[in-house]
Every structure is written in structure tokens, then in C-alpha cells.
Structure 1
Amino acid sequence: MKTFIRLTICLLTLSVYAQKDLEKELDTIVTVEQAEKFLVNKKSRKNKILIFNEEKHKTKLATKLLSTSVGSTEVVKSEFTTTHYKVIDKTDERHYRISYIFFDGNALDATQIVEYKNEIFKSYEEGISFDDLAKRYSMDKNAKRGGDSGWLKEGSLPVEVEEQAFNLDNKLDTLYTIRVPESNGFYIVLKTERIKKIKEIKVLKVIAK
């Protein structure tokens, strides 16, 4: 019994020292590059860099981390593990949100695309929701969401699409068409939101036993 108690105390002591060593190591990490190097050295699938966006992530943890400054750490303890979340980067970038219907010009000929485009414009003017039209016509994987892109930042979609998404002259709830020559893609776009700056953070997640 005494041996068991000594062993338990020894393990607890080692765990405490390990935690302190980890905390000291995390204190030295102040950039994304250092966090990436840390992950390479640790070689654990559980440790990773997470991205939290104030529009997409509404959990208590995400909300708390988004309200803190770069360098802040949140520690979450469970029965078997202690998880450290350290904010290593914070940005406040322009985002856009649109809904779109996509046609692959490599799978459909131009005549068919024009025919579909005319049908869509006519149906939209007659009051058919864009959501329903996207589900019916779009060849993109987001068709099931009614063509909604969600909030995106620059570099997420082809440059031709983003030029129009960021164009302040394009009015909300108005359809416009875009052709992407490089991929032979064709888009019918509905601007659903005004340009908005959205806070986003990168968080180093480290799990310790």
C-alpha cells in the first residue's frame, strides 16, 4: 500500500513538472512559424493549429479566445488531459458572402449554359428563390446549401468571381454573370451580404496528459 502511494505521488509530481515545462515552452512561442516548428518537434496528431472565425465559430471557447489578445492562453482540464489553447495570430480582414450557381464548361456546351442562364434569370424575376434555383441547376458541391458561399476572404474563389464580389457597385439581391476562362467555368452570382471585416485567430492547441 505504501509503495502504491509513493508511486502515485511520484507520478503526480512528474506530471506537475511536465506541465510546468510545457507552459514554459509555450511561453516562448509568439509566432505562427514557431508554433509550426513546435508541432514538428512534438510529432503528435492531437496537437495542431486551429482557426477560429467570429462568424463561423460561436462556441464558448472560440468566443473567449477571440476576445483575448495574441499570446493569451486558455487551459481546459478534463479527467485525463489538460489542453492548452494559445492565440498565436489575429487578423481583421475583409470578407464577402455570395450565393452562386456554377456551370462546368468542360461538361456542358455553351448553348446549354446560355439556355440555363436564361431560365434562371426568368425564374428569379418571377419570384423563384435563388436557393431553389441553385439546388436545381448548380454543378458545385454547395448546391445543397442553395449556393451559399458562407463568409469568405480573398483567395477563396477564382479572382474573376472575387472582383465582382468585392465590387461595391454590385447591388445586393441582384444577379450577375461571370466567366472564368482559365477553368472554363461559368457563374451566376447573387450578392447576399455587404463587405464586412471579420476577426479571425490562429490558435495552437496542445494536449498534455
Structure 2
Amino acid sequence: MEKDFAQLNYYEMLDIKTNATALEIRAAYNSALQMYQSNSLVSYSFFSQKERKEILAYLEKAYFTLINEKERELYDNELIKAGIITPTERGPAAKGPVSIFDFNRQKDTSGTLKTHTSELKAKISQNQRIREIISRQEIRGSDLKEIRSELGIAVETIHQQTKIRLDYLHWIEDDKIEKLPAAVFLKGFIKSYLKCLCIEPADEISARYVNFLERKN
């Protein structure tokens, strides 16, 4: 949570363990691509075009380094020398070329947001509890969960709409701060979460959430 984008190593950037297999590296890379590609809600809701390109370039560099046997060995040696990982944490090398696009995507069975935007906004304006939560100076993950529940939207639907990992969404809503990803990702996640629920102003409310996390840390 304390690290910024530029401080993440390749394993942290892809959110994988240092002993991740080639299949795990590929899956993590594809998941990250879906999150930051041009049509991603997370990508457009928080990051500028320049920032998105920088993230995608770093993701690509991380992937092609870790998926290549010799490159990964050299990179792991650098991390070991810097004291970031130990020799026993060195991961298995990838064997041969691995396609980054040849993977099975799970079928979307959770459905999409069927409620029209105007209807969601009407629900929000008529719900005193939601208005009270939005007006708070400090916004917690449990507050976001309550808003979502009041609107009758499943967390799985948020996952499908935003491509944010389901476990991240649960950790956000349960205020499990120690498990949350780096701030560079989290800010975009919260803003996307709010936009998915038609909660405005998303920028201001997400900032209040981040302030809550910083105070807790």
C-alpha cells in the first residue's frame, strides 16, 4: 500500500509470487492488460493517456522479463543482491515461448448492470442513508459496501464491469488495508467502483477514501 508505481518490482507489478509459474505469469499479465487497455473503465476513470501508456509499457517489460528463462534469472539475481528476495524464493524458469493471448477466459455469468444510469441516480437521490454516507468527511470500504447493498448491486457485477479482481473488491469493502494493492492501482479502483454505482463526485469521494487509508497507515 505504501509503494508507488515506480517503486514496484516486476512481481509486485503483476501481483504474483516470486516463485510464480509461466502460466501464472501469463494469466496475471492478461488480467493487467484487461484492466489498463483503452476500453477499460479503470483506465479511463483515473489514469491519463500518458500514465496508461507508461503502465502498459512497464507491464510489458515485466512480462517479457519474467517469462524468459535467462532474463528472469538475471532479474532475480538483481533482487537477491538488493536483498528484496532470498535465493530460496527464486521462481521456476519458463520453458519455451508462451503466448500471452492463448488463454481461456471465464464466461461472464454474473450479468451486467441492468439498471439504467438515470434510475440508479434516482435511487441515490431518494435514499437518505446513501446521501448521509456520501456526505461524510471520511469514507471507508464498509461505507462503499453499504451503498452497493442499498442499491441492490452484487459485488460480482462490479467485478465484471470494472475488471477489478474479486478478492480486491472484498478486501476494499471489508477494510482489509494490509492486503490492498499499491496506491497507484487503488485510487483507480475506488473511482471505478464509484462510477459503476453512479456515485458522484467520484473524484472527491475517492480522495476521502484514500485519506482514510493514509490516516490508518
Greater strand percent: which structure? Answer: 1
Greater helix percent: which structure? Answer: 2
- TM-score for both structures, normalised by structure 1: 0.29
- TM-score for both structures, normalised by structure 2: 0.28
- Tell me which of the two structures has the higher relative contact order, counting C-alpha pairs closer than 8 angstroms and 6 or more residues apart: 1
